[in-house]
Amino acid sequence: MTAQIIDGRALARKVLEDVGKGAAQLARRPGLAVIIAGDDPASHVYVRNKVRRAEELGFLTETIQLPDDIDEGAVLDEVATLNARDEIDGILVQLPLPEHVNTLRVMAAVDPAKDVDGLHALNAGRLTQGSGGLIPCTPSGCMKLIQSIIPDLTGFHAVVIGSSNIVGKPMAALLLEAKATVTQTHIHTRDTRFIARGADILISAVGRPGLVRGDWIKPRAIVIDVGTTRVPKVEGGYRIVGDVDFEEARDVAGAITPVPGGVGPMTIACLMENTLNAALVRQGELVSA
């Protein structure tokens, strides 16, 4: 069989259209502030894309560019300043931060009501309890992609390859909340291939090109590829590749996300959705995100 290709760009356009309509109802436009430290070229591309999308929606945006050798205290000061500013509804700290900066301490400093990445422990805890809060953008986008194919996940077996705080763990929590049966693997898991082969829904979020081969996939499974690794091209520049061997997978899977054009655009669309939701809550239009 040849798998259905799940078009992340098209679904992202729909999400953004709804966000635009929601934002138009607000008395004050949503404000998004982005902190970026250092000069990782990929991070700069992602931040530019986020800011551009936000501006297209008419949001207020602000980018705070910090040097690579910034000390943690100074990052925390920037966060505190943004927490205190009323016109800023969403604060995003682009990851990865420089090695010497403790990511969890920075995440903990963000006002949970403005935590549009959903990485503060309060939002992470609310997610595991199914009690609302702001949800990390990539897993949120993956859920929309999956549910565009299977709206009701009750009883389906989902396998999440990867256990990061930003994707793997919140992904598993969302799938569990949607009543799927969830298996999560990590770096020490033995025979991931065998586990993956049992998945009706297979999500790979590792960042290792070509990890998931055709024989890792159950026939007709939904495959969501979160990997976005930049691989240099011989002629110069780079291309983006996922974790899944796309050519092999498309012969086995029922539906699959491409890289690029799958999960990536949904990450940015869900960030805009979170920023709108944070603004709605902060402006008293919504009780909870």
Contact 274, 289 (CB under 8 A): yes
Q: Which of 1, 10, 24, 45 binds ligand LMY7XDAE (CB under 6 A)?
A: 45
Q: Which does 95 bind (CB under 5 to 8 A by kind): ligand LMY7XDAE, Mg ion, none?
A: ligand LMY7XDAE
Contact 274, 257 (CB under 8 A): no
Q: CA-based angle 138:162:288, to the nearest 5?
A: 35
268 binds, among Mg ion, ligand LMY7XDAE, none (CB under 5 to 8 A by kind): ligand LMY7XDAE
Residue 222 labelled as part of a binding site: no
Q: Is 204 annotated as a binding residue?
A: no
For ligand LMY7XDAE, the closer CB: 25 or 65: 65
Contacts of 173 (CB under 8 A, 6+ apart): 127, 128, 139
Q: Which of 5, 108, 176, 240 touches ligand LMY7XDAE by CB under 6 A?
A: 240
Q: Could you give the string, one character per residue 107-126, with x where binding to ligand LMY7XDAE holds by CB under 6 A and - elsewhere?
A: ----------x---------
Q: What is the 3-state secondary structure (H, E, C) of 96-155?
A: CCCCCCCHHHHHHHCCHHHECCCCCHHHHHHHHHCCCCCCCHHHHHHHHHHHCCCCCCCC
163 is in an annotated binding site: yes
Give first-to-last CA distance, the chain, whole Å.
Answer: 40
Nearest to 79 by CA among 114, 47, 38: 114
Q: How far is the CB of 39 from ligand LMY7XDAE (least distance, A)?
A: 15
Residue 265 sits in the site that holds ligand LMY7XDAE (CB under 6 A): yes
Strands 229-232 and 238-241: antiparallel
5 binds ligand LMY7XDAE (CB under 6 A): no
Place of tokens 């299977």: 150
The option from ligand LMY7XDAE, Mg ion, none interacting with 265 (CB < 5 to 8 A, set by class) reads ligand LMY7XDAE
Residue 187 annotated as binding site = yes
Question: Is 162 a known ligand-binding residue?
Answer: yes
For the CB of residue 87, give the shortest distance to ligand LMY7XDAE in the complex, in Å.
21
Catalytic residue numbers read: 50, 94, 117
- The residue within the footprint of ligand LMY7XDAE, chosen from 75, 259, 269, 278 (CB under 6 A), is 259
User: φ, ψ for residue 192 (rounded to 5)?
Assistant: -60, -35
d(CA 82, CA 31): 11
Binding residues for NADP(+): 162-164, 187, 228
Site residues, ligand LMY7XDAE (CB under 6 A): 45-46, 92-95, 117, 137-138, 228, 240, 259-261, 264-265, 267-268
